[in-house]
Amino acid sequence: MLPAFSNNDYVMTRRTNYIKKNDVVVINAEKNTPIIKRIDSLFDGGFQVSSDNKAYESEICNKKYSCDDILGKVIFKFSF
């Protein structure tokens, strides 16, 4: 998620069922791996994500997710 988020950043999240386009969320991606992505589009019962780092293409962005896949919405970032 460069340039907005770096590998050593810590994020604070909040569980929520309310999301909108451009929100940054932590999702439960493949193999139960938490991933930070931006909400790209919403549809009935789910959403798709995008990455801020356009230099790196991610297969995660080509999938549709349900709201149950959201671990939390990012509300604050700590950079060190």
The whole-model pTM stands at: 0.90
| pLDDT per residue as tens digits for the range 50-59 | 999 888 888 8
Residue 20 CA: distances (Å) to CA of 6, 36, 41, 46, 72 = 23, 15, 8, 11, 13
Position 26 pLDDT exceeds 80: yes
Alpha-helix residue ranges (DSSP H) falling in the chain: none
User: For residues 74 and 69, what is the distance between their CA atoms, to the nearest angstrom?
Assistant: 14
User: For residues 62 and 4, what is the distance between their CA atoms, to the nearest angstrom?
Assistant: 21
Q: How confident is the model at residue 31 (pLDDT cuts 50, 70, 90)?
A: confident
The CATH number of the structural domain formed by 10-78 is: 2.10.109.10
What residue segments make up the domains of the chain, in order of their start? 10-78
Position 15 pLDDT exceeds 90: yes
Share of the chain above pLDDT 70, in %: 100
Residue entry with tokens 């349900």: 66
Look over the chain and give the mean of its residue pLDDT values, rounded to a whole number: 92
